[in-house]
Amino acid sequence: MSTHFVLPGRQVDPTLSYTKLGLAKAYALSRACNPRNVEYYAYALWCQYWMDLTNDSKYLIVNPQYLLYYVPEETSDEAEEDERDGEEHHDDGDDANEENKDDEDDHDGEEDNFNDALANTTIETIESRTSTKPERSAEEIVPDFAIVRIKYRFRNMELRKTWDNIKIQHAGVPLLAENKRAGKRSLAKVPFLKSTNTFIHRAQDDLFRQAAYLFTMHPQQRSVVLVACSGIYWSCMIADRQYVLEQVIPAPSDDFIDVDHDEDSDDEMSDGDPGEDDDDTEAEEIEEDFDELDLISELGCLRGQSSSPQSEGDEETEEMYLEPIVAEENLMIPENTWTQLLCLDSKASNQKMFLIHSRMQTVARDSTGAMG
């Protein structure tokens, strides 16, 4: 059953794997090691999880701090003009201008047929759209973790099958994960889950923007799994390309959207007793990171974030914030809407990890690159 799903990496040596997992959890949540309750100490825990999840596929690798970037069209055009100007110093002017004109005409034709070509795209037909030259004005964003799917071949079958004989044909990204700090340790039950939910929402905001960069960088990709993490809690969804790109617009980096952060303020999450000593009060202030792709609508109304489960007059319970266990016939990763909170190694968490693992296996066999 999916509620008892065991990550592939844990099946190799269960005692060793569970010991390392327990140590990673204790390390991330330790007041002695992590007195400021910052997110970085949980990287070891989540790295262990993603490694265990992909352990049974040679085509899937875990890439921490995966760089996503794109070059704005105007900047790219200017760079091409500069490059052409440089070439004219070495080539005959008339010939160079004629060749450039032909290239531009060909490029216009390719743009007109681009959408039609996507329908018949396979990994073998995907051309690398990432420049091998340094881009001075590339817009960059760095998710905490990415699972990268590799498609490769050997350059020469007569030579030894070593790394330097491998030709990478495709490197897709079927999963992105973003970590935020855990909820306040001085809280318990519902207040703690509310605190955790605040940081989960911040991770969701970041992931939505990261997905926009991913889809801009990989035009053939149609969807991606997003995982927002806060301590040992997490939330996930499948983000569709059209859903993401319809809600972002290219904008100058200083053209910020006015966002009301009152609900995420430290004052609202502080303890009732102002004199109480709380290790979390020394934590670094989390700043919102706005990038070139900004959201059209107000934050909180996008990325599938549902409204508060509480009705007026109802008493809040933990179940309102936690993802329920689902019947086997109804198992699915929600598309364009986030799950509720999942606690690692709970039955509800095992179900979603089972689904994510199944999807990663499908991605590893896929020949289109549509899922990464």
Encode pLDDT of 272-281 as tens digits. Answer: 443 344 444 4
Query: Is the separation of the CB atoms in 356 and 53 below 8 Å?
Result: yes
**Mean model confidence pLDDT for the chain:** 76
Half-sphere exposure at residue 259, Cβ-oriented, CA atoms within 13 angstroms: 22
pLDDT computed for residue 34 by the predictor: 92
In a domain, residue 210? The reply is yes
pLDDT computed for residue 163 by the predictor: 86
The tokens for 251 are 């904008």
Residue 188 pLDDT greater than 60, yes or no: yes
171 strand-pairing partners: 150
Does 306 lie in the same domain as 202?
A: yes
In the predicted model, what is the mean pLDDT of residues 334-359? 96
Does 350 lie in the same domain as 304?
A: yes
* Amino acid making up residue 227: V
Does 189 lie in the same domain as 302?
A: yes
Q: How confident is the model at residue 162 (pLDDT cuts 50, 70, 90)?
A: confident
DSSP 168: E
Token look-up 């997992």 returns 21
Of 185-189, 248-252, 328-332, minimum mean pLDDT range? 248-252
Question: Of the residues 125, 159, 189, which one is the last residue of a structural domain?
Answer: 125
Q: Which residue has the higher pLDDT, 198 or 105?
A: 198
The tokens for 7 are 């990550």
Token look-up 């790109």 returns 245
Does 163 lie in the same domain as 149?
A: yes
Does 119 lie in the same domain as 254?
A: no
Does 238 lie in the same domain as 142?
A: yes
User: ∠ CA(202), CA(204), CA(207), 5° rounding?
Assistant: 115
Does 204 lie in the same domain as 182?
A: yes
In a domain, residue 250? The reply is yes
Residue 296 pLDDT greater than 60, yes or no: no
In the predicted model, what is the mean pLDDT of residues 97-104? 48
In a domain, residue 211? The reply is yes
Does 111 lie in the same domain as 144?
A: no
> Domain span at residue 266?
2-70+138-365
Query: Is residue 324 helix, strand or coil?
Result: coil
Query: Which residues, other chains included, contact 30 with Cβ-Cβ below 8 Å and sequence gap of 6+?
Result: 41
pLDDT computed for residue 267 by the predictor: 40
pLDDT computed for residue 305 by the predictor: 57
Characterize 212-226 residue by residue with b for buried, 16 or more Cβ atoms within 10 angstroms of its Cβ, and e for exposed. Answer: bbbbbbbebbbbbbb
Does 230 lie in the same domain as 323?
A: yes
Does 282 lie in the same domain as 195?
A: yes
The tokens for 371 are 């899922």
pLDDT computed for residue 233 by the predictor: 97
pLDDT above 70: percentage of residues in the chain: 65
Of 160-169, 208-217, 230-239, minimum mean pLDDT range? 160-169
Number of structural domains found in the chain: 2
In a domain, residue 133? The reply is no
Does 246 lie in the same domain as 205?
A: yes
Whole-structure pTM value: 0.72
Q: How confident is the model at residue 70 (pLDDT cuts 50, 70, 90)?
A: confident
Q: How far apart are CA 230 and CA 348, in angstroms?
A: 16
Best mean pLDDT range from 61-75, 132-146, 259-273: 61-75
Does 153 lie in the same domain as 169?
A: yes
149 strand-pairing partners: 60, 172
Residue 217 pLDDT greater than 50, yes or no: yes
In the predicted model, what is the mean pLDDT of residues 282-305? 42
Residue 182 pLDDT greater than 60, yes or no: yes
Q: Let me know if 368 is exposed, middle or buried by CB neighbors in 10 A (0-12, 13-18, 19+).
A: middle
